[in-house]
Structure 1
Amino acid sequence: MDRDGIEEMFQALRPVTIRRMFGGKGIYHEGRILALEVQGEILLKADARSAPDFETAGSRQWAYDGKQSGNPVKMPYWSVPEAAFDDPEEMAVWVRRAYEAALRAK
């Protein structure tokens, strides 16, 4: 996803900062990372408090194969719920939820 697309998606939190990382991009607001762009997909930060909401909305948790164990390593990032892509107000709810998780992270 290009910079303009990311900024549009996160317009409820303007401004966001986008930095290259891990072969993708980190998306930050006020110095806190709240999302990743990996292979063209946006993944929103969640925590124990918000992850159930993402799961209920049909999102999937991002995981990668662990190099040493070969087992999936689950990360605290979830796919954007499908309904949010067609509704800017719904997207705003989810990006704010991601930012709230970022604020709660240590």
Structure 2
Amino acid sequence: MAVSDEVLAHALDLFAGLGPIRRGRMFSGVALYVEEDVMFAMIASSGTIYMKSDEETGARYAEAGSVPFTYTRATGTRQVTSLMSLPDSAADDPDEATEWARLSLGPARAAAEKKRAEKARKAARKAKAG
């Protein structure tokens, strides 16, 4: 099941305060990016918006009633604690949603930097081997 156009438009409206947002595929949902490669949120096929988190921000999300993204595989259900649901209180409040998104930018930037460094290492190994 894909993310509906209505749900995607609502999420883009919620986070409009962040500036230009790029979309990409993630699981069976849609990833939301700022600053080219900084994935700060994901919309699951269920329509739930999940925000990028780390240990510190995840605790703040949990205090606000957020739950981690979960999915089921043949080996069982898995939790992705680096993606926490947008608090219900922010679901229709662009100002509050943008505050949560800004909180998620720290972990999102750190994850993007880690991916960039990993790609650079792979490219360097490939160039050295080739």
Whether 2:93 is the aligned partner of 1:87: answer yes
Counterpart for residue 48 of structure 1: 55
Cα drift, residue 25 of structure 1:
0.7
Counterpart for residue 15 of structure 2: 10
Q: CA RMSD in A?
A: 1.6
Cα drift, residue 88 of structure 1:
2.2
Residues of 2 paired with 1:15 and 1:87: CA distance? 19
2:66/2:84 contact within 8 Å kept: yes
Structure 1 segments of 4+ aligned residues over 4 angstroms from their partners: none
The DSSP-based 3-state class of the residue aligned with 1:62 is strand
* Cα 1:5/1:48, change in 2 over 3 Å: same
The DSSP-based 3-state class of the residue aligned with 1:49 is helix
The DSSP-based 3-state class of the residue aligned with 2:65 is coil
Cα drift, residue 66 of structure 1:
4.0
Q: Which has the higher helix share?
A: 2
Counterpart for residue 125 of structure 2: none
Whether 2:26 is the aligned partner of 1:21: answer yes
2:13/2:94 contact within 8 Å kept: no
AA at the equivalent of 1:6: A
Whether 2:114 is the aligned partner of 1:103: answer no
Residues of 1 paired with 2:108 and 2:70: CA distance? 18
Residues of 2 paired with 1:91 and 1:22: CA distance? 22
- Greater Rg, structure 1 or structure 2? 2
Cα drift, residue 67 of structure 1:
2.8
- Segments of 5+ residues of structure 2 without an aligned counterpart are 115-130
Cα drift, residue 24 of structure 1:
1.1
2:40/2:51 contact within 8 Å kept: yes
Report the count of equivalent residues.
104
TM-score by length of structure 2 reads: 0.72
Of 18-27 and 48-57, deviating more is 18-27
Cα drift, residue 27 of structure 1:
0.7
